[in-house]
């Protein structure tokens, strides 16, 4: 659904009172996706490594951190992080109350919704190092950290038909 | 003894809890089997002999020293055990004990222990026999809430993070988990090596109970002082101010 809004794109951050389990994150993201006004979504949080990174047990696999799949819309992604903050770019200001309502439906605890600038729209040195000089789809800027892999950690959701 | 030390001033619940921790008059909340504590610590298999670094002191023969004659060695020292540790991370979200208060407890109540305090963790090192006893005391008492405090030997990150949905502190190595019955289970030992069977350490405290038992002053719970709510400065703050004044002002002699 392509909407033209009166105000330009708006970026918000959802900061829940607790870390989200994969099921709760999936529920929340689907609710947000269904509101229809979302351009970009980024999930940020502490790392969940697949194997112990250092210390006496270094290399031991961590089974609990594997296969944390969430399905948003028609795409499935494996979570590499514990869901701490969710950053969204919305089509316009009128979508903010919809996102607020979606959060209230999906989250059983308190949360705060902040407005600000969280995504880059201009390519920087790390983007050049990762993607090269020519970047066709500017929406990928600032969406994943430099070490992440585009195929594994990013998904493009189809537009909602309404 | 005619004189009982006060340990800590102040009349808030936090002050009272701090006194309880330092004096060692703690309530026992649970009884975790010794073998389980030893498994979680991960230094030796439960039931195995204690490896030693030197022969027992009686066999070794000590030099003729009046201090050695005065001081009774701890059981671990007398046997010649290795020195091993247990390290705890306590959540800032109203964990009962906090790093400095664990260290005070250790230094005041535990013989032969070396407590180390850091912002995100607190470690006690002692002879193996002794540290097992001290760790059991800590884990059984009200100092430890099984969801908000965790025995972590490495990758301690999590004390300042938000809690998970079930109230547990974040653990990158997923050492402990909340079972379906509401009990917390340790699936791995303190460094992350999986255990043979999960160890049930009991139910966590409710949020209200944690707030009652905590030794942590927080602005959104019981503040140390301040003008928010027009709270009269606690005796603890006056004592702290007094200490600061004597040390800083008079130490620097601003003439």
pLDDT bucket at A162, cuts 50 / 70 / 90: very low
Percent of chain B with pLDDT strictly greater than 70:
95
Instruction: Report yes or no on A107 lying in a domain.
Output: yes
Q: Is the pLDDT at A5 greater than 60, yes or no?
A: no
| Residue B5 maps to a domain | no
**A162 located within any domain:** no
* Residue found by looking up tokens 């060692």 in the block: B24
Whether A7 has a pLDDT exceeding 80, the answer reads: no
* pLDDT tens figures, A8-47: 889 999 999 999 999 999 999 999 999 888 888 989 899 8
Tell me how far apart the alpha carbons of residues A77 and A151 are, in angstroms, rounded to a whole number: 10
Compute the average pLDDT of residues A49-72.
Answer: 87
> At a CB cut-off of 8 Å and minimum separation 6, what does A72 contact?
A26, A29, A30, A33, A41, A155, A157
Contacts of B155 in chain A (CB under 8 A): 52-55
Residue A161 falls inside a structural domain: no
Mark whether B110 and B140 lie in a shared domain.
yes
* Mean predicted lDDT score pLDDT of chain B: 89
* A12 CA: distance to closest CA in chain B (Å): 20
The percentage of chain A sitting over the pLDDT mark of 70, rounded to a whole number, equals 94
If asked whether residues A106 and A137 sit together in one domain, one would say: no
CA distance A29 to A86: 9
pLDDT of residue B1: 57
- Rounded to whole angstroms, the Cα distance separating B130 from B38 reads 12
Quote the domain boundaries for residue A98.
Answer: 10-116
- CA proximity to B102, closest of B141, B153, B146, B154: B141
pLDDT band at B232 (very low <50, low <70, confident <90, very high): low
| Strands across the sheet containing A38-44 | A38-44, A85-90, A10-16, A111-116
Residue A152 in any domain: the answer is no
Residue A4 above 80 pLDDT?
A: no
Same domain, A90 and A133: no
Min Cα distance B242 → chain A (Å) is 38
**pLDDT for res A2:** 47
Same domain assignment for residues B36 and B52: yes
Residues A81 and A127 in one domain: no
Residue A159, domain member (yes or no): no
Q: Has residue B176 been placed in a domain?
A: yes
Q: Is residue B1 a part of any domain in this protein?
A: no
**At residue B118, does pLDDT exceed 70?**
yes
Asked if residue A84 and residue A16 are part of one domain, the reply reads yes
CATH code of residue B145 = 3.90.320.20
Same domain, B228 and B207: no
In this complex, the residue of A55, A64, A84 whose CB is nearest that of residue B155 is A55
- Residues of chain B with C-beta less than 8 angstroms from the C-beta of A65: 174
Lowest mean pLDDT among A84-88, B102-106, B239-243: B239-243
Of the ranges A45-54, A119-128, A147-156, which one carries the lowest mean pLDDT score? A147-156
Closest CA to B196 of B186, B183, B210: B186
Q: Kindly state whether residues B213 and B255 are assigned to the same domain.
A: no
Residue at A3 is within a domain: no
| Of B136, B126, B104, residue with least CA distance to B117 | B104
Nearest by CB to residue B165, choosing from A18, A57, A62, is: A18
Do residue B145 and residue B231 come from a single domain?
no
Residue B242 and residue B127 share a domain: no
Burial of B216 (0-12, 13-18, 19+ CB in 10 A): buried
B194 and B156 assigned to the same domain:
yes
Nearest-CB residue to B162 (from A19, A49, A54): A19
Determine the residue among B121, B148, B156, B165 to mutate to test chain A binding: the one whose Cβ has the most chain A Cβ atoms within 10 Å: B165
Same domain membership, residue B188 and residue B84 = yes
Residues A109 and A142 in one domain: no
Count of the separate structural domains present in chain B: 2
CATH code of the domain containing A27: 3.30.70.260
Residue B197 has pLDDT above 70, yes or no: yes
Q: Are residues A85 and A127 in the same domain?
A: no
Residue whose C-alpha is closest to residue A31's, from A106, A96, A116: A106
pLDDT in tens, B15-35: 899 999 999 999 999 999 999
Query: Is B251 found in the same domain as B209?
Result: no
Query: What range does the domain containing B246 cover?
Result: 223-255
Q: Read off the pLDDT band of B255 (50, 70, 90).
A: low
3-state helix, strand, coil in chain B (%, to 5): 35, 15, 50
Instruction: List, in sequence order, every residue forming a beta bridge with B89; answer none if it has no partner.
Output: B150
Q: In the predicted model, what is the mean pLDDT of residues A47-61?
A: 88
Question: What confidence score (pLDDT) does residue B243 get?
Answer: 83
- What is the interface pTM, i.e. ipTM, of the complex? 0.81
Q: Are residues A109 and A135 in the same domain?
A: no
**Predicted local confidence at residue B183, as pLDDT:** 94
**Residue A81 in this model has a pLDDT that exceeds 70:** yes
Shortest CA distance from B193: residue in chain A: A57
Please name the residues between 183 and 212 in chain B that touch chain A, using a CB distance below 8 Å: 187-188, 191-194
In this structure, of A12-26, A44-58, B123-137, the range with the lowest mean pLDDT score is A44-58
Domain presence at residue B2: no
Q: Are residues B229 and B141 part of one domain? A: no
| Vertex B212: Cα angle to B119 and B27 (nearest 5) | 90
Looking at the domain assignment, is residue B119 inside a domain?
Answer: yes
A49 at interface of B, judged by CB pairs closer than 8 A? yes
Domain co-membership, A111 together with A124: no
Q: Is residue B240 part of a domain?
A: yes
Identify whether residues B158 and B253 lie together within a single domain. no
Asked whether residue B166 falls in the same domain as residue B254, the answer is no
Go through B70-99 and write b for each residue having 16 or more CB atoms within 10 A of its CB, e for each that does not. Answer: eeebbebbebbbbbbbbbbbbbbbbbbbbb
A75, A16: one domain = yes
| Mean pLDDT, chain A, integer | 85
Residue A3 has pLDDT above 80, yes or no: no
Q: Which pLDDT belongs to residue B109?
A: 94
B26 in a structural domain: yes
* CB nearest A47 (choices: B164, B172, B174): B172
Q: Where do we find the tokens 């090269």?
A: A132
Number of separate domains in chain A: 2
Please report whether residue B170 resides in a domain: yes
Residues of B in contact with A56 (CB under 8 A): 153-154, 191-193
Shared domain check, A108 and A136: no
CB contact under 8 A, A57 and B154: yes
In this structure, the answer to whether residues A103 and A55 fall within a common structural domain is yes
- φ, ψ for residue A148, nearest 5 deg: -75, 160
Residues A135 and A81 grouped into a single domain? no
B123 with B116: CB under 8 angstroms?
Answer: yes
Residues of A in Cβ contact (< 8 Å) with B177: 64
Distance between alpha carbon B164 and the CA centroid of its chain, in Å?
22
Is A110 among the domain residues?
A: yes
Measured between beta carbons, the chain B residues lying within 8 angstroms of A52 are 155, 173, 192
Contact list in A for residue B121 (CB cut-off 8 A) is none
Q: Residue A1 pLDDT more than 50?
A: no
Tell me the torsion sign for CA atoms B159, B162, B165, B170: negative
């Amino acid at each position: 659904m392509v909407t033209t809004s009166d105000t330009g794109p708006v970026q918000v951050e959802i900061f829940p009172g607790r870390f989200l389990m994969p099921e709760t994150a999936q529920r929340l993201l689907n609710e947000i996706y269904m509101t229809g006004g979302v351009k970009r979504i980024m999930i940020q949080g502490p790392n969940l490594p697949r194997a112990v990174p250092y210390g006496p047990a270094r290399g031991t696999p961590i089974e609990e951190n594997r296969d944390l799949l969430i399905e948003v819309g028609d795409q499935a992604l494996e979570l590499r992080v514990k869901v701490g903050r969710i950053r969204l770019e919305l089509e316009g200001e009128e979508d903010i109350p919809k996102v607020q309502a979606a959060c209230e439906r999906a989250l059983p605890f308190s949360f705060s919704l902040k407005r600000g600038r969280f995504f880059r729209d201009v390519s920087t040195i790390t983007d050049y190092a990762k993607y090269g000089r020519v970047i066709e789809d500017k929406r990928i800027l600032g969406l994943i950290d430099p070490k992440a892999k585009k195929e594994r950690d990013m998904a493009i959701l189809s537009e909602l038909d309404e | 003894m005619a004189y009982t030390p006060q340990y800590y001033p102040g009349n808030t619940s936090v002050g009272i809890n701090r006194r309880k921790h330092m004096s060692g008059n703690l309530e026992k909340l649970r009884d975790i089997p010794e073998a389980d504590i030893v498994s979680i610590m991960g230094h030796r298999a439960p039931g195995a002999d204690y490896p030693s670094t030197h022969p027992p002191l009686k066999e070794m023969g000590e030099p003729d020293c009046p201090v050695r004659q005065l001081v009774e060695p701890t059981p671990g020292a007398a046997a010649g055990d290795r020195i091993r540790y247990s390290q705890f991370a306590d959540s800032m979200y109203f964990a009962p004990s906090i790093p400095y208060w664990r260290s005070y407890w250790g230094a005041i109540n535990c013989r032969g222990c070396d407590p180390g305090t850091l912002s995100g963790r607190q470690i006690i090192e002692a002879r193996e026999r002794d540290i097992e006893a001290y760790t059991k005391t800590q884990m059984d008492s009200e100092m430890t809430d099984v969801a908000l405090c965790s025995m972590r030997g490495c990758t301690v990150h999590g004390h300042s993070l938000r809690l998970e949905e079930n109230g547990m502190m974040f653990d990158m190595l997923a050492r402990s988990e909340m079972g379906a019955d509401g009990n917390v289970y340790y699936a791995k030992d303190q460094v992350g090596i999986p255990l043979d069977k999960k160890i049930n350490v009991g139910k966590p405290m409710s949020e209200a109970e944690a707030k009652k038992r905590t030794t942590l002053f927080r602005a959104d719970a019981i503040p140390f002082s301040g003008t928010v709510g027009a709270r009269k400065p606690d005796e603890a703050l006056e004592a702290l101010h007094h200490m600061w004044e004597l040390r800083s002002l008079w130490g620097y002699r601003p003439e």
